[in-house]
Structure 1
C-alpha cells in the first residue's frame, strides 16, 4: 500500500535553541470531520 506524503511546515514555529529531528510522529486527534489540512490551517494561522 502506498501513501502520498506532503511536507507542510507551519510559518510561526518555536523560536529558541536549534532542534534536531529524530523521527516522524503520526498523530490522530479524533476530531469528527477534521482533516490534516484543517489542523495545519489552524496551527498556521493562530
Structure 2
C-alpha cells in the first residue's frame, strides 16, 4: 500500500476542520452543563 502525499495546505485544512469539530463538541457540552446549572440555581431559589 502506497501512502498518498498530502500537501501542507490540505493538512492545515484538515487540522482546522478537526479543531472546529472538537470545539463544537466541547461548546455543546459546556452549554448543556451551563443550562443544567442555571436550572438548578433557579430551582434552589424557588425553594428558598
Question: For this structure pair, what is the TM-score category when the shorter chain's length is used for normalisation?
Answer: under 0.3
RCO (CA 8 Å, sep 6+): is it higher in 1 or 2? 1
TM-score (norm. length: structure 1): 0.27
Point out the structure with the larger helix share: 2
Bigger-Rg structure (1/2)? 2
